[in-house]
């Protein structure tokens, strides 16, 4: 399953007002009845969340000298809901150029009259220029956005055939009626179509009305006329949010990702200061990034998405566009800054004394089990660490995912964490590496309470393949470490290497994880592993 969206088609044909189709590029088809409005963007395959195994590996038996008896092997473990990655970037709206207005000079009746007229006209031109500039920097708000709903002088593009909009007393009910592979966008083209400032703040309130936990709403800035789609932030009902940049080629780049408390009501804001963008969700700044891919704005998009269900709707209200003072940072300098910042995020070690969602006070992107549909596993922050508890008789892992600092993670790295197994009698704690968004699989490095260890590969819904096993000395508290570099993976316990494996099944890392589980899914006691002093160190 690919995470990449289909490439964009050719730019709009100005004579047709629509988007041309290039079959070799996978472009968008044109609907001649739509009057040249852009079709819904292709959403692509949404990412798969970590999959639960169909069966557990056979764990090594300890010698019968007071150790634990061989555990019973659990039955099948159902997979979590599959989610798949979206890359929801549309071709830009077909915008009509704004023709500048000019004042007529009139007839020259004489030298004195000519001088007078020139003076008057010069003043008029100065006034016109200032007025035009002022038009572009005037703030605009719409309590009820959308064509035929906004009663002000904002210009909105008509929706395509896969979306509908209804004016309500409390906003604009925006609905995508079909095709879960696309997102719907409502484009704001500016006040009277006058254009946009280089720096501005865009905001909207959005309440998800229908759809599942994958239903999401978003805000799209720097929408481009030539088919590129600027930067977009989407927040979903399960709390997952992601900010991405999509150049004209259609290949998106993740700017940041994180996980907010699950809700259906969102207030989204993007502060655009040239190439510096600050994203806020529910009045909380979640990230500031620098992306110099785009320099101008021809539209702002309000986004509706659900990659797993065709019908989805949200109520949009309180849209606001507010011009801001221009940034003093040039786009060239911004590009250099972005490169340095991204390099730091991808090379600098990241640590969390108390890891996990709501526990880590840094910018690590942690996903709670509930994000994946697991409402059984519980997590608790304490001074002793992150306690991950798999309840008794629970047929799946207790899995907490880490997507890296600011949602960015490398392919090669080391992971270390202190695990306390004193409340996990008969169970195991684990580090998961090489997590894949496209398959939901990962590599599992587990240390069990009896001192045994096992290395296995989760293949998503296809179950686990055991790669290596061993026995050791049981200790309640141990520090474990995994070093992943290329196809080589090394597992260490208490500072001592216990196993090295070669596995090239998954070459790319989208997430890693901290895992707690019982060896027996019919166990009558819960399995709690407490994690502390987590360190993620990218390999340079």
pLDDT in tens, 229-241: 899 999 999 999 9
Burial class (CB in 10 A: 0-12, 13-18, 19+), 225: middle
Length of the chain in residues, anyone? 540
Q: Are residues 302 and 370 in the same domain?
A: no
Distance, in Å, from the CA atom of 428 to the CA atom of 15, rounded to the nearest integer, reads: 66
Q: Are residues 429 and 300 in the same domain?
A: no
* Mean per-residue pLDDT, 423-429: 92
pLDDT for 91 equals: 37
Q: Are residues 306 and 183 in the same domain?
A: yes
Q: Are residues 152 and 285 in the same domain?
A: yes
Q: Is residue 498 part of a domain?
A: yes
Q: Is residue 98 part of a domain?
A: no
Q: Is residue 501 part of a domain?
A: yes
DSSP class of residue 145 equals -
Q: Are residues 372 and 521 in the same domain?
A: yes
Burial class (CB in 10 A: 0-12, 13-18, 19+), 1: middle
Distance, in Å, from the CA atom of 433 to the CA atom of 334, rounded to the nearest integer, reads: 33
β-pairing, 299-305 with 18-19? Answer: unpaired
Q: Are residues 292 and 160 in the same domain?
A: yes
CA quadruple 467, 471, 477, 482: dihedral sign:
negative
Residue after which a domain boundary falls, among 276, 298, 330: 330
Contact between 241 and 255 under an 8 Å Cβ cutoff? The reply is no
Those residues with Cβ within 8 angstroms of residue 265's Cβ, 6 or more apart along the chain or in another chain: 205, 206, 207, 208
For 102, what's the count of Cα atoms within 13 Å in the CB-facing half-sphere? 4
Distance, in Å, from the CA atom of 445 to the CA atom of 314, rounded to the nearest integer, reads: 42
Is 327 a residue whose pLDDT tops 50? yes
Residue whose C-alpha is closest to residue 198's, from 289, 331, 35, 34: 331
Distance, in Å, from the CA atom of 240 to the CA atom of 85, rounded to the nearest integer, reads: 12
pTM over 0.85: no
Q: Are residues 297 and 383 in the same domain?
A: no
* Phi (first) and psi of residue 74, to 5 degrees: -70, 165
pLDDT for 339 equals: 62
If one counts the domains in the chain, the total is 2
Task: Please count the other Cβ atoms lying within 10 Å of the Cβ belonging to residue 125.
Answer: 12
DSSP class of residue 330 equals -
Q: Is residue 499 part of a domain?
A: yes
Distance, in Å, from the CA atom of 123 to the CA atom of 276, rounded to the nearest integer, reads: 37
The pLDDT tens digits for 374-404 are: 999 999 999 999 999 999 888 789 999 999 9
Q: What are the Cα distances from residue 287, in Å, to 131, 167, 244, 335?
A: 35, 33, 12, 17
* Mean per-residue pLDDT, 319-332: 83
Q: Is residue 206 part of a domain?
A: yes
Contact between 154 and 146 under an 8 Å Cβ cutoff? The reply is no
Residue after which a domain boundary falls, among 330, 363, 385: 330
Q: Are residues 176 and 245 in the same domain?
A: yes
Residue whose C-alpha is closest to residue 87's, from 305, 338, 314: 305
pLDDT for 135 equals: 41
Q: Is residue 40 part of a domain?
A: no
Q: What are the Cα distances from residue 377, in Å, to 226, 323, 399, 519?
A: 47, 46, 8, 15
Q: Are residues 393 and 527 in the same domain?
A: yes
Report percent pLDDT > 70 for the chain: 70
Question: Higher pLDDT residue, 273 or 129?
Answer: 273
The pLDDT tens digits for 104-153 are: 333 232 333 333 333 333 343 333 333 334 444 588 999 999 999 999 99
Contact between 13 and 20 under an 8 Å Cβ cutoff? The reply is yes
Q: What are the Cα distances from residue 268, in Å, to 136, 274, 292, 345, 426?
A: 22, 19, 21, 25, 46
CATH number, domain containing residue 313: 2.60.120.560
Full domain range(s) for residue 390: 348-538
Question: Higher pLDDT residue, 89 or 162?
Answer: 162
* Mean per-residue pLDDT, 37-45: 40
Q: Are residues 225 and 313 in the same domain?
A: yes
Report percent pLDDT > 90 for the chain: 54
Contact between 19 and 28 under an 8 Å Cβ cutoff? The reply is yes
Residue whose C-alpha is closest to residue 48's, from 356, 442, 517: 442
* Phi (first) and psi of residue 512, to 5 degrees: -125, 180
Distance, in Å, from the CA atom of 6 to the CA atom of 73, rounded to the nearest integer, reads: 43
Contact between 511 and 435 under an 8 Å Cβ cutoff? The reply is yes
Residue after which a domain boundary falls, among 282, 303, 330: 330
Q: Is residue 16 part of a domain?
A: no
Is 329 a residue whose pLDDT tops 90? no
pLDDT for 10 equals: 31
Q: Are residues 254 and 379 in the same domain?
A: no
The pLDDT tens digits for 446-494 are: 999 999 999 999 987 667 899 999 999 999 999 999 999 999 999 999 9
Q: Is residue 38 part of a domain?
A: no
Q: Are residues 378 and 286 in the same domain?
A: no
């Amino acid at each position: 399953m690919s995470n990449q969206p289909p490439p964009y088609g050719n730019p709009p044909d100005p004579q047709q007002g629509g988007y041309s189709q290039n079959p070799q590029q996978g472009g968008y088809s044109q609907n001649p009845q739509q009057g040249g409005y852009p079709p819904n963007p292709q959403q692509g395959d949404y990412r798969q969340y970590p999959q639960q195994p169909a069966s557990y590996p056979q764990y090594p038996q300890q010698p019968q000298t007071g150790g634990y008896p061989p555990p019973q092997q659990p039955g099948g473990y159902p997979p979590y809901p599959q989610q798949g990655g979206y890359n929801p970037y549309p071709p830009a709206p077909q915008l009509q150029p704004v023709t500048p207005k000019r004042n007529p000079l009139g007839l020259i009746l004489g030298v004195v009259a000519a001088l007078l007229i020139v003076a008057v006209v010069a003043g008029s031109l100065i006034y016109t220029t200032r007025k035009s500039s002022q038009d572009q920097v005037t703030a605009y708000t719409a309590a009820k956005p959308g064509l035929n709903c906004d009663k002000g002088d904002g210009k909105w593009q008509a929706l395509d055939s896969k979306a509908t909009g209804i004016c309500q007393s409390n906003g604009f009910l925006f609905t995508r009626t079909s095709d879960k592979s696309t997102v719907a966008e409502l484009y704001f083209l500016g006040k009277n179509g006058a254009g946009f400032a280089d720096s501005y703040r865009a905001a909207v309130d959005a309440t998800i009305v229908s759809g599942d936990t994958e239903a999401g709403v978003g805000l799209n800035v720097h929408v481009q006329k030539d088919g590129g789609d600027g930067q977009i932030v989407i927040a979903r009902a399960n709390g997952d949010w992601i900010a991405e940049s999509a150049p004209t080629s259609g290949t998106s780049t993740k700017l940041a990702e994180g996980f907010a408390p699950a809700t259906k009501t969102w207030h989204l804001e993007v502060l655009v200061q040239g190439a510096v963008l600050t994203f806020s969700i529910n009045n909380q700044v979640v990230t500031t990034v620098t992306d110099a891919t785009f320099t101008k704005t021809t539209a702002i998009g309000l986004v509706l998405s659900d990659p797993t269900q065709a019908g989805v709707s949200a109520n949009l209200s309180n849209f606001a566009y507010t011009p801001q003072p221009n940034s003093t940072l040039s786009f060239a300098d911004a590009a250099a800054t972005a490169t340095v910042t991204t390099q730091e995020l991808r090379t600098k070690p990241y640590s969390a004394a108390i890891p996990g969602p709501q526990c880590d006070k840094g910018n690590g992107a942690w996903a709670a089990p509930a994000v994946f549909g697991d409402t059984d596993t519980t997590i608790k922050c304490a001074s002793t660490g992150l306690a991950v508890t798999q309840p008794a008789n629970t047929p799946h892992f207790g899995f907490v995912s880490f997507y890296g600092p600011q949602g960015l993670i490398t392919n090669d790295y080391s992971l270390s964490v202190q695990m306390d197994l004193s409340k996990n009698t008969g169970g195991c704690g684990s580090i998961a590496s090489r997590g894949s968004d496209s398959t939901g699989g990962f590599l599992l490095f587990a240390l069990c309470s009896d001192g045994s260890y096992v290395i296995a590969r989760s293949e998503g819904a296809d179950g686990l393949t055991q790669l290596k096993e061993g026995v050791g000395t049981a200790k309640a508290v141990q520090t474990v470490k995994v070093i992943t570099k290329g196809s080589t993976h090394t597992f260490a316990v208490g500072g001592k290497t216990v196993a090295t494996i070669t596995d090239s099944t998954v070459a790319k890392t989208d997430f890693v994880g901290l895992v707690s589980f019982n060896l027996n899914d019919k166990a009558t006691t819960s399995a709690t592993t407490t994690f502390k002093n987590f360190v993620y160190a990218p390999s340079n």
